Amino acid sequence: MTWTYSKEYESEAGDFINIQKAVAVIVGSFLVGIGINGFLVPHHLIDGGVIGIALILHYFFGFQTGLSMLILSIPIFLYAWYYERPFFYSSVHGLLLTSLFMDWLNPLKKVFSVSILTSSLIGGAIIGMGIGLMLRYETSSGGTDMLAKIISKSTSMDIALAIIIIDTLIISSAAFTLGIEIFLFSCLTIVIIGLITSLIKVRE
């Protein structure tokens, strides 16, 4: 009797955790979409990683940000599928939903009318909350997060350092393509994202 109860309890606990993770992915992706479209896009600010590349393509060529992010992430996910299957399963839902919300919430770029400084702070905070929430439940939006995990596992490099190196390379391109002002405020945005992500993702 005790054994049956234990098994049922474990099953219920597992279902509850899965529901929490699903909610975290949906809410987190939604927050990232709001932060990107509502606050970064109006001032041509960029984030680090794959999202940053997708935003640059959006600003210069008019490509859909979410679709670009999805396409750019394909090589990383193909690698993960063959060599790091747990990384693939933990991030694929986040990637798909984040890409969807980034394009679906595109009209938000005309809703808020705030300064570039305010956009950097608010946008960074909202995106950080979204990413941190997903990481807290051991999922992510894919892209850079997954690439950093793969690099970290392959080279023993700290994952935070891997993310910093990747983001630095991408954000540096903004200084040449988008101008020094946007570069500086984009750096501020990334710092805010990192701080909020760290605060949110840590479990009690």
pLDDT score recorded for residue 13: 47
Give me the pLDDT at residue 54, please: 92
* CB-CB contact of 167 with 190 (8 Å): yes
- Using CA of residue 50, residue 41, residue 119, residue 70, what is the dihedral sign? negative
Give burial (CB, 10 Å; 0-12/13-18/19+) of 154. exposed
- Are 68 and 143 contacting, i.e. CB atoms less than 8 angstroms apart? no
* pLDDT for the residue 5: 47
Residues 54, 29, 33: CA angle, nearest 5 degrees: 55
At residue 9, the pLDDT reads 44
pLDDT in tens, the chain (204 residues): 455 545 554 555 455 557 888 898 999 999 999 999 999 999 999 888 888 889 989 998 999 999 999 999 888 888 878 877 777 777 888 889 999 999 999 999 888 889 999 999 999 999 989 988 888 887 777 667 677 777 777 777 766 667 777 777 888 877 777 788 888 999 899 889 888 887 886 654
Nearest residue to 198 via CA among 130, 128, 141, 116: 128
Compute the distance between CA of residue 57 and CA of residue 68 in angstroms, rounded to an integer.
8
- Pair 139, 22: CB distance under 8 Å: no
Global pTM?
0.83
